Amino acid sequence: MHGFIIFKHSVVMVLRNFPQVLKTILPLSAIGALWVLGVVGFFGSAAGKAMSSVQIELSAGAIVLMFFTLLVWGITAWHRYVLLEDRGLFFLPAFRIGPMMSYVAHFLLLCLLMIVSVIPFGIFLTIGSAAGPMMMVVMMFFIVIGVTFCFYRLVIILPAAAIGKPLKIKEAWGQTTGAETAILVLVLLSSLVSFLLERSADSIAAIPVLGLPLFLFVQGVWGMVQVSVITTLYGHYVEGRSLS
C-alpha cells in the first residue's frame, strides 16, 4: 500500500507542477531538435552530397552526447526543483554543472554495481538453461525484478548528488531498509504502466499529424513521473517528508 501511495504522490507531483514540467520538457526538446538539425546540416553541407561513414559516426556521436547532456540537465533540474525549489531562469530549467557532473558519476557507479550484481545471476541462468527455455524465462523474470529492486533501493544516491548532498552506497541501502515491500510495489507498478504505454504506442503514433509529437510528449511526461518516484523516495526516506 505504501508503494502505491509513493507512486500516486509522484503522479500528483507532476500534475500539480505541470507548468514546471513543460518548462523542463519543451525547451530541452527544442534545443535537442535544433541541435540535430544543426549537426545534420553541418556535416551534410561539409560532405556536399552524401555523408561518409566517418561523418555519419561523428554526427551520431554529437547527437547522442547532446541527448545525454539534455537528459541529465532535465533530470537534475527536476530533482532540484522539487527538493530545493530551484526554479532556474526564465524559460529554462536550472542548469548546474557541478551537480550534473556528480549525478553522472553516481549514475555510472550505480550502473557498475548493477552489472556486477548481474554476474552471479548470469551463472545461475546458464545452469538453468539446461532445464529448458521455460525455466530460463522464469529465471530471467525474477532476475530482472531482483536487479530492478536493488536499483530502486540504491537510486536515492542520484537525487542526493543532484542537490549536493551525496550519499554513500551503504548509507543509501540503510536509508531504504524497511521499504522493501513499497519498493517492490513501485517496481511492479512502473513495469505495468511502461508495458501499457508500450502497447498503446502504435495507436498514439497513428494519429494523423499530431501522432508522433503526442507520443513523444506522453513519453516525456511518463519519464518525469519516473524521476518523481526517485525524488519522492529520497524526500520521504532520507529527508522524512510527508506523503500526504
pLDDT digits (tens, 9 = 90+) for 56-76: 788 888 889 999 999 999 999
Could you tell me what percent of the chain has a pLDDT over 90? 51
Enumerate the domain spans of the chain. 2-237
How high is the pLDDT of residue 191?
A: 87
**Strands (DSSP E) found in 161-237:** none
Q: In this model, does residue 240 exceed pLDDT 80?
A: yes
pLDDT digits (tens, 9 = 90+) for 145-165: 888 888 999 999 999 999 999
Mean pLDDT of the 106-135 span: 80
- Three cell numbers at 195? 508495458
The DSSP secondary structure of 192-209, one letter per residue, reads HHHHHHHHHHHHHHTSTT
How high is the pLDDT of residue 131?
A: 65
How high is the pLDDT of residue 149?
A: 87
How high is the pLDDT of residue 50?
A: 62
Please state, in angstroms and rounded to a whole number, the distance separating the CA atoms of residues 244 and 239.
15
pLDDT digits (tens, 9 = 90+) for 220-237: 899 999 999 999 999 999
Residues facing residue 89 across a β-bridge:
92
Mean pLDDT of the 25-42 span: 88
Q: In this model, does residue 178 exceed pLDDT 80?
A: yes
